[in-house]
Amino acid sequence: MSLSRDHGGRILVVDDEPQLRRVMRTALVADGYEAHEARTGEEAIEMLRESNPDLILLDMNMPGMGGLAACQAIRALTDAAILVLSVRASEKDKIAALDAGADDYITKPFSVNELMARIRANLRRLSGSAEQSSPIIVSDDLTVDFSVRKVTAHGQPVRLTPKEFELLQYLMSNPNKPVAHRKLLQTLWGPEYGDEVEYLRVFVSQLRKKIEADPAHPRYILTEPWIGYRFATPEK
């Protein structure tokens, strides 16, 4: 059974270029995915409820509300993976897209094989091996329940995106141990990744804002300079 069928394989293509939408739709259907199309960010938002996609291919250069605004609006409505497509290749542009809620970023032009590899990587989810039968009470202000993917910080429920949750889950499964950038990237995204350190900077920053009392001086998710990150369990 293919990965796409295991995950439902519903993909929403959001691009204002009809020819590119046709090419991507043909490739997706040939690979076993169910493809839907939208021409603008506004149209994509309207379609979210009816198509319920597992992954969204989102062009950054569209008329109307624009790619970044569309990404933010889509992320507020769904936990589906968002793969941004853009002609811009700078780190600044990638970080802006990730900050807006994207999970990954691919630069145009790209090959069909590269696109399919990125789709498979972003539909991949961590196994449940690190799940616990009962919530983990990290401290008086942080509780994590892996079995129902629930996080409570400072007495309030916290909504994490799937990638943010997986990052927290993996770091917590290796408490007090530095985890290298490459290891995190390949675990969360797949073996094709390893050099996209800016991805981790963005997701760690987002996670700190949600669970740390003082994100600028984190208590739990610590930076290991030139190495990676570490989840620090509070001293008893």
User: Which pair of tokens denotes residue 146?
Assistant: 């892996």
pLDDT at 100: 96
In sequence order, which residues have a C-beta less than 8 Å from that of residue 4 and are 6 or more positions away?
31, 32, 33, 119, 120, 123
pLDDT confidence of residue 125: 76
pTM: 0.89
Strands 179-180 and 156-158: unpaired
Q: In angstroms, how far is the first alpha carbon of the chain from the final one?
A: 47
Q: Quick one: 142 and 110 in the same domain?
A: no
Q: Which two tokens stand for residue 87?
A: 């002609």
Q: What is the CA radius of gyration of the chain?
A: 18
3-state DSSP helix/strand/coil percent for the chain, to nearest 5? 40, 20, 40
Boundary-marking domain end, from 123, 138, 163: 123
User: Do 94 and 146 belong to one domain?
Assistant: no
DSSP state, residue 232: P
Residues 96 and 191 reside in one and the same domain: no
Strands 142-145 and 150-153 turn out to be antiparallel
Of 142, 41, 18, 61, give the one whose Cα is nearest residue 150. Answer: 142
- Would 236 be classed as within a structural domain? no
Beta strand pairing call for 81-86 and 55-59: parallel
199 part of a folded domain = yes
pLDDT at residue 133 in the model = 58
- Report the domain count for the chain: 2
Pairing, β 156-158 against β 142-145: unpaired
Q: What is the pLDDT of residue 236?
A: 57
Cβ(156)–Cβ(206) below 8 Å: no
Tell whether 155 and 76 lie within a shared domain: no
Phi first, then psi, for residue 34 (nearest 5°) are: -95, 115
Do 117 and 176 fall within a single domain? Answer: no
H helical segments located in 145-228: 162-172, 181-188, 197-211
Per-residue model confidence (pLDDT) at position 63: 87
Nearest Cα neighbor of 116 from 174, 32, 43 is 32
In angstroms, rounded to a whole number, what is the distance separating the alpha carbons of residues 160 and 45? 20
Tens place of pLDDT for every residue, the chain, 236 residues?
A: 233 334 448 999 999 999 999 999 999 999 999 999 999 999 999 999 888 999 999 999 988 898 999 999 999 999 999 999 999 999 999 999 999 999 999 999 999 999 999 999 999 876 544 445 578 888 889 999 988 889 999 999 999 999 999 999 999 999 999 999 999 999 999 999 999 999 999 999 999 999 999 999 999 999 999 999 999 998 75
Q: Which domain holds residue 223?
A: 128-231
Q: Are residues 117 and 204 in the same domain?
A: no
Instruction: Please tell me the predicted confidence (pLDDT) of residue 126.
Output: 65
